[in-house]
C-alpha cells in the first residue's frame, strides 16, 4: 500500500466527515453565509484554529460567490485552497551539498515523537544512499539513548553518544568532528524534548545551535520541529518560541495515523513560513514519508 | 493570538455602555467571543456549542440585559458553568480497599504515562505511606521499560525486573505475583492509538487479568480537538476511573480537560506540572476554568474581596474616609486584608489587564516591602497608631529598633501615610454616589 493510500485510509474517518459535511452545506445550490460558517466549523474541528478556518472558508466562498455549486466543486475548491496555502512554503527535505557533514537538528516538546522520527529519518536517508550518523543529544530523559540505539541498529547507522549527563552542546561539538573524520554525509541530532515555556531549556537549545556554527557557520542546515498531530492551538506558541530560540526551518508532523488531522500545521506553515517536510503515518521504519500538499489535501477532504 | 476573554468582554461592554441598553444582538456578539475563546483553548466544537447554549439560557434567565454590570455577570456565568463541567477537586485514588490495589495507566503515545506513573507512585509512597511496585508492559517502544526502571529509582519505589522477550500479559501475571508484598501495583502500558484494535484488545486483556482498582487515562494538556474522540474510544474499551492531564506547565489553555470530562465522566485526579518526580499537583476546577478562559481569576478575586472584607468593615471605612480620618490601624488592617487575598503577584494575575504588569514589576520585592511596612506599624504603640503626630525623634528610634528597620524607613512610611490621608480627605469631599462607585471598583461590596 502506498503511503498516500495508507494516509487516506487512516484519515478516512475524518475525511468522510468533511466530505459528507460539504454536501449538507450547499443549500439550494448556493454556498450561503450559514453554509460557509458550517464549513468553518468543520475546519475548526480538524484543529485548523478559528482564524485559519475563517480564512480558508472565506477563500472558498469567494470563489463561488453568487454561483450555483455542487458538493463536488466545493470539495475541489477546498482542496485547491488548502493545497495553495501549504504550497507557498513547501520544499523537500534534502541533504545539502556542503564540504563537511550536513547537520539536521530534531527539536520539539516532550513526547511528540522526536526520537522515533530521528530513527525513521536515518533509515530514509540511508535508503537514499546517504551516509548517516545519529547523535543522541537527549542526555536528560531516562533511557532516551537506549531508545535511539535500537533505532540506530534498525536503520543500520552509527550512533554517537556522550558520557552520562554530558552537556549536549559539547556532545554535538565532538560529534561533528567525528562525523567529519568518518566521512559521514548527514548528522541527525536527536535533542531532548523540552516545553517551549521553559526559558532555561530553550536557551540551552540555542547554545547547541551556536556551538554548531563554530564548526561550520552554515550549520545546522535544518532545524526541524517535530509536532504531534494531536496538538491543538498551543502549537502556535510552540512554533514561535522554537523559531525564536533555535531558528526552526521546517516541520515533521507525527502520529497522523490516528484520528487527529493536524490542521494546525496549515496555520503554522503560513504564519511562520515553514515547510512541512515529512509526515509520520505509522509505527514501522518506512512510515515517515515526504509530505505533499496536494495529497494531504486530498486525503483530508 | 490568545486575547484574553475578559479583555474582549471589557471592550465590548464599554462600547455598549454608551448606549445604556444591552440588546439581544449584543448578547450574541458576546457569545461569539466566548465561543472563540473556548475554541482557541482547544475545547472541542460540539462541547463549545452545547456550552454556549447553556450560557445563553442562563444569561437570559438571570436578566443579563437589565443588569448593571453585565460584563462581570456573564464572565461569572461562563466561569461557573466551566467549573461545573470540570467537576470535583481533591479526588483521591481508590487504593485502600484491596491489597495490592492495581492502578493501570493508559493513553496515546507520548501522553506522559510513564512519567505520570512514576510521579503518582512517588506521591502514594510519600503522602499515602504506600508500598508501591511499578511494572511496565510496554514491549513496543524501545527502552520504555528501562525508562520506567530509572524513573522508579528516582521515585524511590521498586520496579519489576525486566525479562527480555516477555509478552505483556505474562508481565502482568508476574507483576501480580510479585506485588503480593506491596500495597499498590502500578501497571504502565504501551502508548496506543485508540483506532488500533489489536492494541486496544491487549489493553482490555491487561485490565481483565489485573482487575485494577483504578484505570487512569493520561492525556497531554496540549491536545486539540481530537481529545474528545480519543477519550471516548478509551472509555468505551475499558472502565476508566480517573484522569491525569500532563504538561500543564506548558502554556496550553487545557480545553482538552473539558473533552476528557465530557467523554468519560471521570474525575481529574492529577495534573503533571514539570519534569521532576515531584511535579504533580492536585486538580482545582476553578483555576483551570480561569486558565481556559485566559482571563485571570477575576471571579475569585471578587469573591475573595467579598469574603475578606465584611459589609460592616466596608461601611466603617466609608465613614472614616468621609471624616478624613485614616490612621495606621486602618492602614494595617487594609494591608492584612490584601494579604489574606494572596500575594501581590497572584492578585495582579487575577485582575484582567494587569497580568503584564505582574511580569514587569518585581512582585517579590513588593511583597517584602509590605511585610516591612507591617513590621514598622506593629512596633508602634496603639496610641501612636491612632495619632501619628505623637511620633517624635526618640519614638521613631524606638520603632526603628523594634521593627529592625532604619529611622529613614519609618520616615518614609510617615510620609506615605500623610499622602494617603490627604488623598482620603479629598475623597471625603466626594458625594455619596461617587464614593460608592469608587468603593465598588476597588472590590468593596455595596455599602
Q: Do A232 and B108 touch (CB under 8 A)?
A: no
pLDDT at A67: 81
Compare CB distances from B36 to A50, A143, A195 and report the shortest one's residue.
Answer: A50
Q: How far is CA B2 from CA B29, B202, B222, B298, in A?
A: 18, 41, 14, 17
Compare CB distances from A232 to B146, B195, B256 and report the shortest one's residue.
Answer: B256
Report yes or no on A172 lying in a domain.
yes
CATH of the domain at B203: 3.40.50.300
Compare CB distances from A232 to B140, B193, B224 and report the shortest one's residue.
Answer: B224
Please tell me the distance from the alpha carbon of residue A298 to that of residue B10, in angstroms, as a whole number.
43
* Segment (H or E) for B427: helix B407-428
CATH of the domain at A53: 1.20.120.140
ipTM value > 0.85: yes
Do both B263 and B229 map to the same domain? Answer: yes
Q: Do A228 and B220 touch (CB under 8 A)?
A: yes
CATH of the domain at A282: 3.40.50.300
pLDDT tens-digit series, residues A118-166: 999 999 999 999 999 999 999 888 888 999 999 999 999 999 999 877 8
Q: Do A47 and B224 touch (CB under 8 A)?
A: yes
pLDDT at B78: 85
Q: Is B194 on the interface with A (CB under 8 A)?
A: yes
Strands A132-137 vs A186-191: parallel, antiparallel or unpaired: parallel
Q: Contact at 8 Å (CB) between A265 and A227?
A: yes
Q: Contact at 8 Å (CB) between B71 and B13?
A: yes
Do both A107 and A211 map to the same domain? Answer: yes
Residues of chain B scoring pLDDT < 50: 1-3, 297-300, 304, 350, 352-357, 438-447
Do both A65 and A150 map to the same domain? Answer: no
Do both A106 and A14 map to the same domain? Answer: no
Q: DSSP assignment, residue B381? A: -
Do both B278 and B384 map to the same domain? Answer: no
Residues of chain A scoring pLDDT < 50: 1, 15-16
Q: Is B264 on the interface with A (CB under 8 A)?
A: no
Report yes or no on A197 lying in a domain.
yes
Report yes or no on A96 lying in a domain.
no
Compare CB distances from A232 to B42, B149, B229 and report the shortest one's residue.
Answer: B42
Q: Do A234 and B44 touch (CB under 8 A)?
A: no
Host domain of residue B23: 5-86
Please tell me the distance from the alpha carbon of residue B142 to that of residue B136, in angstroms, as a whole number.
12
Q: Is A284 on the interface with B (CB under 8 A)?
A: no
Do both B82 and B115 map to the same domain? Answer: no
B143 vs A contacts (CB less than 8 Å): 143-144, 146-147, 149-150
User: Of the residues A35, A61, A87, which one is the last residue of a structural domain?
Assistant: A87
User: Of the residues A57, A87, A117, which one is the last residue of a structural domain?
Assistant: A87
Closest residue of A to B196, CA-based?
A: A258
Report yes or no on A92 lying in a domain.
no
The C-alpha angle A138, A143, A145, rounded to 5 degrees, equals: 45
pLDDT tens-digit series, residues B243-271: 999 998 888 888 899 999 999 999 999 99
Distance of CA B275 to the CA centre of its chain: 19
Do both B106 and B80 map to the same domain? Answer: no
Do both B271 and B132 map to the same domain? Answer: yes
Q: Contact at 8 Å (CB) between B171 and B135?
A: yes
Q: Do B247 and A109 touch (CB under 8 A)?
A: yes
A197 vs B contacts (CB less than 8 Å): 249-251
Q: Is B201 on the interface with A (CB under 8 A)?
A: no
Q: Is A82 on the interface with B (CB under 8 A)?
A: no
Report yes or no on A94 lying in a domain.
no
* B contact test, residue of A9, A142, A231 with most B CBs within 10 A: A142
In the beta sheet, which residues pair with residue A126? Answer: none
Host domain of residue A267: 102-300
CATH of the domain at B74: 1.20.120.140
Q: Contact at 8 Å (CB) between B260 and B217?
A: yes
Q: Which own/partner pairs from A174-183 qualify as long-range (CB within 8 Å, at least 24 positions apart)?
A: A175/A133, A175/A135, A176/A100, A176/A101, A176/A103, A176/A212, A176/A215, A176/A216, A176/A219, A177/A215, A178/A133, A179/A100, A179/A101, A179/A133, A180/A100, A180/A101, A182/A133, A182/A158, A183/A131
Amino acid at each position: 500500500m502506498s503511503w498516500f493510500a495508507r494516509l487516506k485510509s487512516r484519515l478516512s474517518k475524518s475525511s468522510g466527515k468533511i466530505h459528507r459535511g460539504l454536501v449538507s452545506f450547499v443549500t439550494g445550490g448556493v454556498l450561503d453565509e450559514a453554509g460557509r460558517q458550517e464549513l468553518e466549523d468543520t475546519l475548526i474541528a480538524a484543529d485548523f484554529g478559528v482564524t485559519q478556518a475563517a480564512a480558508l472558508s472565506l477563500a472558498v466562498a469567494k470563489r463561488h460567490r453568487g454561483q450555483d455549486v455542487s458538493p463536488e466543486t466545493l470539495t475541489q475548491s477546498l482542496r485547491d485552497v488548502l493545497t495553495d496555502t501549504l504550497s507557498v512554503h513547501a520544499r523537500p527535505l534534502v541533504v545539502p551539498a556542503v564540504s563537511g557533514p550536513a547537520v539536521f537538528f530534531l527539536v520539539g516538546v516532550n513526547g511528540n515523537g522526536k526520537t522515533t522520527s530521528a530513527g525513521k529519518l536515518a533509515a530514509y536517508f540511508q535508503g537514499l544512499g546517504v551516509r548517516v550518523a545519529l547523535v543522541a543529544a537527549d542526555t536528560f530523559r531516562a533511557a532516551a539513548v537506549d531508545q535511539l540505539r535500537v533505532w540506530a541498529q534498525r536503520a543500520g547507522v552509527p550512533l554517537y553518544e556522550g558520557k552520562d549527563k554530558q552537556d549536549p552542546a559539547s556532545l554535538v561539538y565532538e560529534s561533528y568532528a567525528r562525523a567529519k573524520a568518518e566521512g559521514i554525509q548527514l548528522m541527525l541530532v536527536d535533542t531532548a524534548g523540552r516545553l517551549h515555556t521553559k526559558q532555561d531549556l530553550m536557551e540551552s537549545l540555542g547554545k547547541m545551535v551556536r556551538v554548531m556554527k563554530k564548526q561550520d557557520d552554515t550549520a545546522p542546515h535544518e532545524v526541524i520541529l517535530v509536532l504531534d498531530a494531536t496538538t491543538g492551538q498551543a502549537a502556535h506558541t510552540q512554533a514561535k518560541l522554537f523559531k525564536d530560540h533555535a531558528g526552526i526551518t521546517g516541520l515533521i508532523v507525527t502520529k497522523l495515523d490516528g484520528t487527529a488531522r493536524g490542521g494546525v500545521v496549515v496555520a503554522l506553515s503560513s504564519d511562520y513560513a515553514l515547510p512541512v517536510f515529512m509526515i509520520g503515518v505509522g509505527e514501522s521504519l518506512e512510515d515517515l514519508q515526504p509530505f505533499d500538499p496536494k495529497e494531504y489535501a486530498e486525503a483530508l477532504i | 493570538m490568545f486575547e484574553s476573554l475578559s479583555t474582549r468582554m471589557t471592550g465590548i461592554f464599554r462600547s455598549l455602555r454608551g448606549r445604556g441598553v444591552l440588546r439581544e444582538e449584543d448578547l450574541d456578539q458576546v457569545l461569539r467571543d466566548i465561543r472563540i475563546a473556548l475554541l482557541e483553548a482547544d475545547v472541542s466544537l460540539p462541547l463549545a456549542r452545547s456550552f454556549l447554549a447553556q450560557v445563553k439560557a442562563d444569561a437570559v434567565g438571570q436578566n443579563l440585559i437589565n443588569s448593571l454590570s453585565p460584563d462581570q455577570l456573564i464572565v461569572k456565568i461562563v466561569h461557573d458553568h466551566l467549573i461545573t463541567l470540570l467537576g470535583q477537586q481533591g479526588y483521591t485514588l481508590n487504593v485502600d480497599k484491596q491489597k495490592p490495589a492495581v492502578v493501570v495507566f493508559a493513553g496515546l503515545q507520548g501522553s506522559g504515562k510513564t512519567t505520570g506513573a512514576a510521579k503518582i507512585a512517588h506521591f502514594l509512597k510519600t503522602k499515602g505511606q504506600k508500598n508501591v511496585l511499578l511494572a511496565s508492559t510496554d514491549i513496543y517502544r524501545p527502552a520504555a521499560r528501562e525508562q520506567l526502571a530509572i524513573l522508579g529509582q528516582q521515585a524511590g519505589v521498586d520496579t519489576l525486573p525486566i525479562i527480555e522477550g516477555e509478552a505483556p500479559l505474562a508481565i502482568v501475571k508476574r507483576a501480580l505475583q510479585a506485588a503480593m508484598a506491596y500495597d499498590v501495583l502500578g501497571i504502565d502500558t504501551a502508548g496506543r492509538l485508540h483506532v488500533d484494535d489489536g492494541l486496544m484488545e491487549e489493553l482490555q486483556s491487561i485490565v481483565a487479568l489485573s482487575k485494577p482498582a483504578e484505570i487512569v487515562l493520561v492525556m497531554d494538556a496540549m491536545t486539540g480537538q481530537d481529545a474528545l474522540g480519543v477519550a471516548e474510544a478509551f472509555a468505551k474499551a475499558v472502565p476508566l476511573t480517573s484522569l491525569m492531564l500532563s504538561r500543564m506547565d506548558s502554556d496550553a489553555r487545557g480545553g482538552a480537560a473539558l473533552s476528557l470530562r465530557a467523554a468519560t465522566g471521570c474525575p481529574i485526579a492529577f495534573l503533571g506540572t514539570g519534569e521532576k518526580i515531584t511535579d504533580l499537583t492536585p486538580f482545582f476546577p476553578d483555576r483551570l476554568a480561569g486558565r481556559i478562559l485566559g482571563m485571570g481569576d477575576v471571579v475569585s478575586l471578587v469573591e475573595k474581596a467579598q469574603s475578606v472584607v465584611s459589609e460592616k468593615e466596608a461601611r466603617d471605612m466609608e465613614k472614616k474616609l468621609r471624616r478624613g480620618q485614616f490612621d495606621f490601624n486602618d492602614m494595617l488592617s487594609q494591608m492584612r486584608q490584601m494579604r489574606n487575598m494572596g500575594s501581590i503577584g497572584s492578585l495582579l494575575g487575577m485582575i484582567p489587564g494587569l497580568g503584564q504588569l505582574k511580569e514587569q514589576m518585581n512582585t517579590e520585592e513588593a511583597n517584602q516591602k509590605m511585610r516591612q511596612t507591617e513590621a514598622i506599624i506593629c512596633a508602634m504603640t496603639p496610641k501612636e497608631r491612632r495619632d501619628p503626630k505623637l511620633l517624635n525623634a526618640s519614638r521613631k528610634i524606638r520603632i526603628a529598633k523594634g521593627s529592625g528597620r532604619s529611622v529613614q524607613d519609618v520616615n518614609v512610611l510617615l510620609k506615605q501615610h500623610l499622602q494617603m490621608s490627604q488623598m482620603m480627605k479629598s475623597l471625603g469631599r466626594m458625594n455619596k454616589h461617587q464614593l460608592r462607585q469608587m468603593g465598588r471598583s476597588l472590590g468593596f461590596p455595596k455599602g
